[in-house]
A and B are shown apart, each in its own frame.
Chain A
Amino acid sequence: GENVEQHPSTLSVQEGDSAVIKCTYSDSASNYFPWYKQELGKGPQLIIDIRSNVGEKKDQRIAVTLNKTAKHFSLHITETQPEDSAVYFCAASVNQFYFGTGTSLTVIP
C-alpha cells in the first residue's frame, strides 16, 4: 500500500516567519493530497488540498506544491501567527487515505 512520510515532526518558528512541512509518498497512483490542521482536543480540519494535475495551489497565507516526478508535496505557511500553532497532517489518497505522522508547529510570539 501507500506510504506517506512527513518531516519534520516538530517545528518552531518566530511569529512572522515562514514554515514549510514536507511529505513524500510512494504510490504513483495517488492523485489527491489534502492537508489538515488539528488543534488540541479537536478533529482534523481541512486547510488546503491539491490534485495530481496541478503543481501549486495558494489560499491567502497557505500554499501547497506538488512534484509528481519526485513524489513529494509541501505545505508553506507565510507570515505565521500564534494561532497557526497546531499539528499538521498531510495525506495521499489512492483507494483510501494514507496520512503522514504529523508535524507539531509552534509559532513563538
Chain B
Amino acid sequence: KAGVTQTPRYLIKTRGQQVTLSCSPISGHRSVSWYQQTPGQGLQFLFEYFSETQRNKGNFPGRFSGRQFSNSRSEMNVSTLELGDSALYLCASSLEQGAAGNTIYFGEGSWLTVV
C-alpha cells in the first residue's frame, strides 16, 4: 500500500511569490492535515481537511490556505512568501476526521526555501 505522497520534495522561491504544495493520502484515507516543521518551532499544525471541507485550523495567518478534492488529494498554498516561511511542510493522512484517537501517517515532506 503506497504511503502519503508529497510533491514537490524541494523548491526554492523568492520573497513575495506564492507556492502550492500537493499531497496524495494513503488509499482509503479521507482526512488530510498539514504541518509546518522548523528547527525553532517544531511541528506546528496548519489545518485539516475532511470531505473537501476544512475541519480545523491552527494559528497561522491567512496567507496559508488549503483545499481538498473529491479524491481526498489535498493542496496547500502560501501566498506572499516571507523568509520565515522556509520550512519542511508535512502532510499527514488518516482514515477519519479529527485527532481524537485517530492515527496519522506522514509523508516525506516538501522542503521550501524562501530567498
Inter-subunit contact A46/B105 (CB<8 Å): yes
Question: Taking the complex as formed, is B106 at the interface, i.e. its CB lies under 8 A from any CB of chain A?
Answer: yes
Known pairs A96-B45, A101-B42; A42 contacts B108 (CB<8 A) = yes
Q: Is the interface of B mostly helix, strand, loop or mixed?
A: loop
Inter-subunit contact A102/B42 (CB<8 Å): yes
Interface core residue of A97, A98, A99, A101 (most chain B CB under 10 Å): A97
For the A-B complex, the count of residue pairs with Cβ-Cβ distances under 8 Å equals: 57
Inter-subunit contact A97/B104 (CB<8 Å): yes
Inter-subunit contact B90/A96 (CB<8 Å): no
Interface residues on A, range: 20 to 34
Interface string of B8-52 (1 = CB under 8 A from A): 000000000000000000000000010000000011010010000
Q: Is the interface of A mostly helix, strand, loop or mixed?
A: strand
Inter-subunit contact A32/B105 (CB<8 Å): no
Question: Taking the complex as formed, is A89 at the interface, i.e. its CB lies under 8 A from any CB of chain B?
Answer: yes
> Which of chain A's residues have a CB closer than 8 A to the CB of B33?
96-97
Inter-subunit contact B106/A45 (CB<8 Å): yes
Within the assembled complex, what's the spacing in Å between the Cα atoms of A60 and B43? 27
Inter-subunit contact B58/A89 (CB<8 Å): no
Q: A45-B106, A95-B56 are in contact. List 5 more A-B contacts (CB 8 A).
A: A34-B104, A44-B43, A93-B99, A93-B100, A96-B56
